[in-house]
């Protein structure tokens, strides 16, 4: 008597989606160029007349605060020959391209183009920096490269309420530092690693000393994928790997779709927030901005940072190892545990809905 194999788990996305340039192009255009992305924080602006360059989903953007206090975001690419216009934060009334000195107002309008008066058909009014959508949540600046984008509030969904209900007041935090990183892995692999703690007990001993992964609660929201876990009892007893006593007794880790990380750990009020974006089919980059409660001691901050950075370093090898295996051609896809890895399943369904119609249309 023969038995038909029973499918006991979910199939992952096809592994070729982690290396295929066509898939990467679709993701850039349909995901990262149509969604709100974390672009920085208001502390990067030094009052009216200031600006800072950033990028959203790999698109160069400059955020400006005009003299009248209007917050704007513009594509940071000169309309002349494509050079980056702003290369560092500054406080000045204009933006000037370093290549040929085309000069723009902080509203994006072209103010001057050397020798353009010699061109009989030069139309400066049509050559301003392209606008994109910009909005804020507390101190956080978000940009959407679609100038007709839906409001930021719709994209955030219930995330602000969920964050606040778990004890974090984002407006009461102070910015401390930015940590940039690059990974030799597709952006989806980095997000998928973030969305499960199945690997934590084996690979993150310091993390599970502080956060009780056995009590992990997963939650799928309208625009977010979230994990919550209480502080571990042994951390309260030993005050190691850092002093977890404080206003926050529950961790919360969120992905705001498609790829913004929002991390809160037990102890004193703390937050790391930042974007992740594809830089190549098999590469991604990102950064985390760290915020803490006012008055946090330097000793506590040093212990917390050492613990947090150690977890990140451990993840690098894991993520890059998955990329190496998935891109080897050994297997067409993988499997997901339906309960344990439900957030990954939800994330992959989101990606699949954006990518498959375009791939099918090109077939």
Query: Per residue in 275-286, pLDDT tens?
Result: 999 999 999 999
Confidence (pLDDT) at 362: 67
pTM: predicted TM-score of the whole model, two decimal places: 0.94
CATH 3.90.380.10 correct for 154-348? yes
Confidence (pLDDT) at 106: 98
Give the C-alpha separation, 146 to 284, whole Å: 22
Confidence (pLDDT) at 147: 84
Q: How confident is the model at residue 12 (pLDDT cuts 50, 70, 90)?
A: very high
**Residue 287: its H or E element:** strand 283-292
Cβ pair 15, 23 in contact under 8 A? no
Query: Per residue in 100-119, pLDDT tens?
Result: 999 999 999 999 999 999 99
Alpha-carbon Rg of the chain, whole angstroms?
Answer: 23
Cβ pair 256, 194 in contact under 8 A? no
Total residue count of the chain as it appears in this document:
363
List helix spans (H) across the chain: 21-27, 152-156, 159-165, 187-194, 200-203, 205-210, 233-238, 298-326, 342-362
Q: Which is more confidently placed, 8 or 47?
A: 47
7 burial type by CB count under 10 A (0-12 exposed, 13-18 middle, 19+ buried): exposed
Beta bridge partners of 45: none
What residue segments make up the domains of the chain, in order of their start?
37-148, 154-348
* Chosen CATH of 37-148 out of 3.30.1390.10, 2.102.10.10, 3.30.420.10, 2.40.50.180: 2.102.10.10
């Amino acid at each position: 008597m023969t038995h038909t194999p029973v499918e006991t788990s979910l199939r992952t996305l096809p592994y070729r989606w982690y290396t295929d340039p066509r898939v990467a192009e679709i993701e850039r255009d349909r995901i990262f160029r149509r969604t709100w992305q974390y672009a920085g924080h208001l502390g990067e602006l030094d009052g009216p007349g200031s600006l800072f360059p950033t990028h959203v989903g790999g698109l160069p953007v400059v955020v400006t605060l005009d003299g009248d206090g209007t917050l704007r975001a513009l594509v940071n690419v000169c309309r002349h020959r494509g050079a980056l216009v702003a290369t560092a934060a500054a406080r000045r009334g204009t933006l000037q391209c370093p290549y040929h000195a085309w000069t723009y107002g902080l509203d994006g309008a072209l103010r001057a183009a050397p020798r353009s008066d010699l061109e009989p058909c030069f139309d400066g009014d049509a050559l301003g920096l392209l606008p994109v959508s910009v909005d804020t949540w507390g101190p956080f600046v978000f940009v959407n490269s679609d100038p007709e984008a839906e409001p930021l509030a719709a994209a955030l969904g219930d995330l602000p309420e969920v964050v606040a209900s778990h004890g974090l007041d984002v407006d009461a935090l102070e910015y401390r530092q930015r940590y940039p990183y690059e990974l030799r892995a597709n952006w989806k692999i980095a997000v998928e690693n973030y969305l499960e703690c199945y690997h934590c007990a084996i690979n993150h001993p310091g993390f599970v000393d502080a956060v009780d992964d056995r009590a992990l609660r997963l939650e799928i929201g309208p625009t977010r994928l979230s994990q919550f876990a209480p502080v571990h009892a042994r951390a309260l007893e030993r005050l190691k790997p850092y002093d977890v006593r404080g206003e926050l007794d529950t961790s919360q880790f969120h992905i705001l779709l498609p790829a913004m990380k929002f991390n809160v750990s037990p102890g004193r009020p703390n937050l790391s927030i930042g974007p992740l974006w594809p830089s190549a089919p098999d590469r991604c980059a990102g950064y985390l901005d760290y915020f803490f409660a006012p008055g946090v001691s330097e000793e506590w901050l040093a212990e917390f940072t050492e613990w947090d950075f150690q977890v990140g370093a451990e993840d690098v090898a894991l993520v890059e190892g998955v990329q190496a295996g998935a891109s080897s051609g050994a297997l067409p896809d993988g499997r997901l545990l339906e309960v344990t890895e439900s957030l990954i399943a939800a994330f992959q369904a989101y990606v699949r809905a954006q990518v498959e119609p375009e791939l099918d249309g090109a077939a």
